[in-house]
Chains A and B, each alone.
Chain A
Amino acid sequence: EVQLVQSGAEVKKSGESLKISCKGSGYSFTSYWIGWVRQMPGKGLEWMGVIYPGDSDTRYSPSLQGQVTISADKSISTAYLHWSSLKASDTATYYCARALTGNSKTFDYWGQGTLVTVSS
């Protein structure tokens, strides 16, 4: 069974750093891209970027490039989202999702989400 399990909720202050995780299981983690999606409180879904754990090739949304770093450790089947200096506007729920990129292109399996709350 394909599963993506994300790390737990975080409460941080502005200026602090943070790394949240997404662990994949039940499939070949290095053979599928992993995407990250942001959902700010009461708002819609926003694509942030994707990473291919096989070689760490990464693509970012133009609006978010430089604001966050996506990485992966294929040895432990885990993808990460990292902030070096959080802002209050980073408060959101973050989802990871497995991306199909061959003849089909979609996000087929999703993590349960990680709520990040940043206080100023």
Chain B
Amino acid sequence: QSALTQPRSVSGSPGQSVTISCTGTSSDVDGYNYVSWYQQHPGKAPKLMIYDVNKRPSGVPDRFSGSKSGNTASLTISGLQAEDEADYYCCSYAGSYSYVFGTGTTVTVL
């Protein structure tokens, strides 16, 4: 089980959109529609932002959206805000109650 591949960093100005990619394999991302995205601020626990590719938990702003095509999932943050500056991790189900996380992406709001 290798970590899913994410860009190390992305940045954008307030109000802009940024997209983070998450590339896996046929054993994880491409094999299941169970990709989640987590936001982590420094020193804090991860917070679920997107699950099952494109579902938002209650309370998560609709500025956050998810999608998937083949072995690559994506998280888009529209209307970027200062509080969106954080680390973001994708995570895919990989069968038999196993999971794999992405390498993580730091989002910087310029």
Contact = CB atoms under 8 A, between A and B. Distances in A.
A26 interface: no
B46 to A, nearest CB: 6
Contacts, number: 72
Nearest to B96: A59
B34 A63 contact: no
A28 B85 CA distance: 34
A33 interface: yes
Interface residues of A, number: 26
A59 B1 CA distance: 14
**Contact-residue bracket for chain B:** 20 to 34
Interface of B: 1, 3, 32, 34, 36, 38, 40, 45-48, 51-52, 55, 57, 89, 91, 93, 96-104
A119 to B, nearest CB: 22
24 contacts: A33-B97, A35-B99, A44-B89, A45-B46, A45-B91, A45-B101, A45-B104, A46-B101, A47-B100, A50-B98, A62-B1, A63-B1, A99-B97, A100-B51, A101-B97, A105-B51, A106-B48, A106-B51, A106-B91, A107-B38, A107-B91, A108-B51, A110-B46, A111-B45
A110 B45 contact: yes
A100 B104 CA distance: 22
Contacts of B99: 35, 47, 50, 107
Which 10 A-B pairs rank lowest in CB-CB distance, beginning with the nearest? A106-B51, A105-B34, A44-B104, A106-B36, A105-B93, A45-B101, A110-B45, A47-B99, A59-B97, A45-B89
A104 B52 contact: yes
B98 A47 contact: yes
Given A95-B45, A105-B32, A44 B3 contact: yes
A50 B96 CA distance: 11
Interface in A52-90: 59, 61-63
Contacts of B57: 108
Contacts of B55: 104
A59 B48 contact: no
Contacts of B51: 100, 104-106, 108
